[in-house]
Amino acid sequence: MFKRWLYPELRGFRLAHNRNAALRRAIQSSRATKAWMRLLFLVCALTLFAQFVWPGFNSLWYDRLGNTLLLCAFGSLSLPFFPACRREVRAHLRLELLQLRRCPDCFYDLRATELPRCPECGLALSGVTPGDAETR
């Protein structure tokens, strides 16, 4: 549900399995996403470490709040990474749309035009040649 809101470029892929495959490729190629996932894993590991190893951790506040407060505290450390992840994934999706000869802004089919701009919205199409779609 939130995929189309977070990544509006997904509307440019007509079939659902193409959308899902493009999003999967974009997420897997994103260095920021990999760093964010590692940080989230570290948050979970710190929570478990604090619960079972840290002496005196099971105090009165922990008995009342449990892991919720700890996960929120450590999890908030990973929030600054999310915009960078989203930016990288969107850039990858836009590049993939350009390679498929579709405008990343209005999703106009550009296979029949050789213009350096999209005839529909006027977006400058730089660095992509018509043969790029066939090489993929």
| Residue-level pLDDT at 44 | 76
pLDDT in tens, 33-76: 788 788 878 877 877 777 677 666 556 556 666 667 767 776 77
Is residue 75 a contact partner of residue 40, using CB atoms and an 8 Å limit? Answer: yes
Comparing CA positions, the residue from 47, 32, 134, 11 lying closest to residue 84 is 32
Position with higher pLDDT, 126 vs 121: 121
pLDDT for position 112: 86
- pLDDT for position 135: 40
Domain chopping of the chain, boundaries:
3-99
pLDDT in tens, 70-90: 677 767 777 777 888 888 889
CA distance 57 to 48: 11
Please report how many Cα atoms fall inside a 13 Å half-sphere around the Cα of residue 89, on the Cβ side. 27
Local confidence band at 134 (pLDDT 50, 70, 90 cut-offs): very low
87: its two tokens? 């930016």
User: Does the pLDDT value for residue 97 go beyond 70?
Assistant: yes
Distances (CA, A) of 63 to 55, 75, 77: 14, 20, 23
Nearest to 96 by CA among 9, 2, 3, 6: 9
